[in-house]
Structure 1
């Protein structure tokens, strides 16, 4: 069996998008808030519907990455989405905007450098698919195929894992802590 490296990259991008969409669908409240944060005040009443559209586009794009006839278009759209996600993550990390992350569903948190790195990796993989000429696509077989599939699985785990909050690893600053915690922190020398 032989498969191209571009197919593996597209499949990896597709898997990440599908996982993200399913996570958002399972935890709609988080993505609804994030979309509301991004909209001008006069459009916030449409945030739930727009969040659902985002989820469906992300899911459909992810699935299309697996279909050879749609792979090129899907990865171009995935690149645009990843670029947008990167801009949001970078803007929030640099303090230029204030956007939460509900990237894979679950608990919302502030976007940070991990999100910038994750989104850049996703962007690079998606762009690599549609910028690689078909004649230059590398065909993998045997052990090279196994290694490429393992690396793709690790990339999906890294990208999906970077969007999840792990218990005990998210520190809260005194400014965002509940009032009772803030007052006790002030008493400690």
Structure 2
């Protein structure tokens, strides 16, 4: 079996470019809420299925919501993100769960670094592809699933996007 990629897609993929262009028009809050809502609804369960006793992903998502509601400080949110990133490193033997944990961390971090919103696309689509197709498929199969999943992400962002949002995030993609 060929070594699986930790994330799928690339910055020049048409589906990633479409996401980037819409993300650029939205505020940090809109972007981060979309990320967290999407990862909660579609991706976090992939990690939970593999590691039902580990609550790091849920705790990071809860920390995001508490930060958004002014109940905790940014340093507390960053600690929760670090913990879920550590959980991802520990999940090396399960590529789907590892990618799901990374997607959770990226989503929760999007409020302070909006470029992490692409991490949802790259890692989230990998988590879905590996979970759905298993770990022995050809790269083209994974890329097709990633493309379809990113299309669903784009549709979810379009559904919550604020037209002519007054304070869009200042984003430099560095890619």
Give the TM-score normalised by structure 1. 0.33
Structure 2-normalised TM-score? 0.35
